[in-house]
Structure 1
Amino acid sequence: MKSSNPVFSRRAFHRTGQTPHADDSPVGTNPYAQDTAGRSGNAHDADTAPDARPAAQHPGGTAMTIDDVVARTATTLATVVLCAVLAWVLLPVDEAGLSRSYGIAVGAGLLAFGLSLAQTFKARPVPALILAYAAFEGVFLGVISSVTSTCIGSGVVIQTVLGTMAVFAGVLIAYRMRWIRVTRRFYGFVTAAAIGFVLLNAANLLFSAFGGGDGLGLRSGGLGLVFGVVGILLGACFLALDFKQVEDGIAHGAPREESWLAAFGLTLTLVWIYVEALQLFSVLNGSDRSA
């Protein structure tokens, strides 16, 4: 199952010894899946049925393990958090200097986006590129969190962090309990919904830039609350897709270096959830203050 998150074209893992072109599988397919449909007589089972064959064995323990994924993800997230804290501490903001702060956030965000695209089109994961992305993403998150704390209140950032952690834990438990079943249909629905969500966001930004205010009103008031909840739900779906990708990679012998790709995808998804949760809690706290 090819994973999905804000970088929609991010490819899936591939086996050790597989050429970079061999995993150019159709969108939503699992490059590890075997012909389970032919054995069971039900094509739908091919989406979720586990491979009957054991995972590939690699000399010297070069196959990816869950410990590799956890370690790489912890390293990447630690880079994000460290840079966010440094940005918050070293780039203090007040209400008079918000434009400068937004400029730094936009610059860091664009650099992070560029680096994420560069990794997306690489044939193999590049740890330096992924960590550089995490660093600039951390600066972006640190600045917007500091600005939000200044304008709305310090509690909103704590709420956002706790909310992001709760979403991650909830989806992980639901996935492990098999309450969430990741199939091709699930993948197609999430991808279509995410593309629509991004396009609406882009339209809102354009109307805001040329017309002033909040554009289409998707980031304020009642509509902002609904849009924020939808964004977080999409992030939760991205997490399920990423968990499926990691599970398939480990079960079917992805090379150890691909754990960096798993860390990259999980970090992208958690950043998505954090940003959407920050927006949601900002609207909620802003409404409380105005009331």
Structure 2
Amino acid sequence: MRTSSNPAFRNLPGGQGGGYAGFGPQGDATGRAPDTAARGDRSGVDQRPLTVDDVVIKTSITAGTALVTGVLTALTGQYWLVLPAFIIGLVLSLVVIFRQSSNPALVLGYSAAMGVALGGISGVFNSIYPGIAVQAVIGTAGVFLGMLVVYKTGAVRVTPRFQRWMMGALIGVLVLVLVRFVSQAFFGDALGMGSGGFLSIVISLVIIGVAAFSLLLDFDMADRAVREGAPAGFAWYVAFGLMTTLVWLYIEILRLLSYFRE
């Protein structure tokens, strides 16, 4: 059984006989029918098998929603919305993850909220370093497409060993991010982890690298969902999972680019 580093894609084991546990046409491992209301599957159309096109379309809509709300926030200068938007996005993400919901309203709500938050942050950075937001968007898109090519060509295979390595790397990155935050928030960056120096750049590159390789696990989980017969409505949940990784990746790329502008 494979698991993803992305919390949105955990606990989704593949079903047997063409089903997808908890989401397939034969119900979950206990034989019960899936909770389609909680998943956002409101029609028979949603119960047809998931396709790659479904994933692509829903992911594009989700990312597009974040991009639009982000641009509007940056252009209007409503930077005070950053904190409430982050809180709303966090709450919605927890609801989606713990309910394993593919409700499009929740997923798009999360994307809109995170778009506002990232738009506000990007606006502040862009006022200090003109053009940096566009560069970060291009960089994030480039990493996403690059890792998709890596996954499709099989240059790096998602094996159980790779997954164990990634889980260890993610735990290490989480500790690193917490130490960096504490150092900057309470000790004036005494460790030099966010000052823009050599150590700061190395840390950001490590975090970006781990986030990039996390995309391979996300692609693998989405691929398995298609192969194992998840319903079409599950595409919204896949899009949400990919979006969480892209948000993390964008923030760190934006931070890294700012170091080179100092």
Q: TM-score range by the shorter chain?
A: 0.7 to 0.9
CA distance in 1, matches of 2:9, 2:232: 22
What is residue 176 of structure 2 aligned with on the other side?
200
What is residue 123 of structure 2 aligned with on the other side?
146
**Which is greater in Rg?**
1
Aligned equivalent of 2:189, options 185, 209, 214? 214
Aligned equivalent of 2:51, options 35, 50, 65? 65
- Residue 131 (structure 1) aligned with residue 108 (structure 2): yes
DSSP-derived class of the 1:121 partner? helix
Unaligned runs of 5+ in 2: 13-19, 32-43
Residue identity opposite 1:17 in structure 2: Q
- Runs (4+) of structure 1 exceeding 6 A deviation are 58-61
What is residue 96 of structure 1 aligned with on the other side?
none
CA distance in 2, matches of 1:72, 1:8: 16
What is residue 262 of structure 1 aligned with on the other side?
238
DSSP-derived class of the 2:99 partner? coil
Q: Percent of pairs identical after alignment?
A: 36
| TM-score, normalised with respect to structure 2 | 0.84
Q: Is the 8 A contact 1:206 1:215 kept in 2?
A: no
Aligned equivalent of 1:87, options 67, 73, 84? 73
Unaligned runs of 5+ in 1: 23-57, 93-100, 287-291
Q: Is the 8 A contact 1:106 1:140 kept in 2?
A: yes
Q: How does 1:1-291 map to 2 (within 5 A)?
A: 1-5=2-6, 7=7, 10-12=10-12, 14=21, 15-19=24-28, 62-91=48-77, 101=79, 104-151=81-128, 153-211=129-187, 213-214=188-189, 216-220=191-195, 221-286=197-262
Distance change in 2, residues 1:107/1:21 (3 Å): farther
DSSP-derived class of the 2:154 partner? coil
Between the two proteins, the alignment pairs up a number of residues equal to 239
Q: Is the 8 A contact 1:109 1:137 kept in 2?
A: yes
Q: Deviations over 1:230-287 (max 9, x none)?
A: 111111111100111111111111111111111011111111111111011011111x
Q: Is the 8 A contact 1:8 1:191 kept in 2?
A: no
